[in-house]
Chain A
Amino acid sequence: MAKNKEAVILYSGGTDSTCAVFLKAPEFEKIHLISYRRYGIFNTSNIDYNVARLQSLFGKDKFVRTVIDIDKMYKLVVYDNYFKNLFKFGFFNLAVCGLCKMAMHMRTILYCIDNGIDTVFDGANKDAGSGIATDQVKEVVSVITDLYKSFNISYSSPVYEMNGPKNLTWQAKLGLSKEEEPEDVKTTGTFLKEKGFFDSDNVKGSLIDKKMQARCFQQFLSNMALNSHFIEKYGVEKYKKTLHEFFTAKSQRMTMHIKDFLNGKENSILFRYKQ
């Protein structure tokens, strides 16, 4: 079967996006590994740790490595139409991870258009953040997929349906009880361990995990406002529904901005915000 030519993978250096590279690299001639940095994301150079290992496995020519600044794009996504969103969605405006990811996807669309690429993957997973991560719940992923579709780009995560590692209880973390993983559970970690890329099947939160990923603690505000407050008060279903509405509103505005930019409208805001 003939190989497809090129694809983009949004690469964070973590287990899920590394697994996405393993699954998709054989299908494409060239993979663009894109990482993003902005003010507030530290140690982005850590990502290179696994990039170098991937290059030694698949060959150096297999990957095009790019790191792009998204400070301005992030600012645009967060503060565009801000007061209207503030009154309508309140604390959802603090959903840092979802907003940051949307800025990354927006920049990826521009990158794809610049380089003539029509396929994008990332390491989004249904179980990330105990299944309620603002950037990876199904409702938000569907909005992102539609955003890409508006520009004839296909987007998916090859690891979305894989299981996440089991969250340990306090008792287990302190060694008071033993909690064993069911043997047949397939996670991105077990996949990479089988391939010999990691020694352990769950490196999440470990020292090695910290060594290979950028660091950012800003999600605690949204965790507090949304997970500890909104979900407790209104339930998960309402949370996911509101997330969907919030990101749909954002996505519509961003689609408009990108189209204005591509049509060369002089007053397009992206002329100032694209880095």
Chain B
Amino acid sequence: MIKTFFIYLVCGPALLMPCKMRIIYAELFGWTVQGFYYIYYSTMKILLNELKNGKK
């Protein structure tokens, strides 16, 4: 339910945007998603490395 609401909240406005605005909006959203991905990925990697070093 929350997920559906979030998807409508993010994607709904894009449907009503003119061409350039939609491109910028989608780009910004894309960068944000990539940002979260890299933060999550690098945090996990650092944590795993620390755990490995601790185990040694």
A interface with B by C-beta (< 8 Å)? 39-40, 74-75, 78-79, 86, 90-91, 93-94, 96, 173-176, 216-221, 224-225, 228-229
Contact = CB atoms under 8 A, between A and B. Distances in A.
Given A93-B15, A225-B7, A220 B41 contact: no
Contacts of B14: 94, 221
Interface in B1-56: 3-4, 7, 10-11, 14-15, 19-20, 23-27, 29-31, 33-34, 41, 44-45, 48
Kindly list the 10 A-B residue pairs having the minimum CB-CB distance in the complex, ordered from nearest: A217-B30, A218-B26, A40-B23, A225-B11, A220-B30, A221-B26, A229-B7, A75-B19, A220-B33, A220-B29
Contacts of A217: 26-27, 29-31, 33-34
Contacts of A218: 23, 26-27, 30
Secondary structure call for the B interface: helix
A91 B23 contact: no
Secondary structure call for the A interface: helix
B20 A39 contact: yes
Contacts of B10: 221, 224
6 contacts: A39-B23, A74-B19, A173-B41, A217-B34, A219-B30, A228-B3
A221 B28 CA distance: 10
Given A75-B19, A86-B15, A93-B15, A229 B4 contact: yes
Contacts of A221: 10-11, 14, 25-26, 29-30
Contacts of A74: 19
Nearest to B6: A224
A58 B9 CA distance: 51
B26 to A, nearest CB: 4
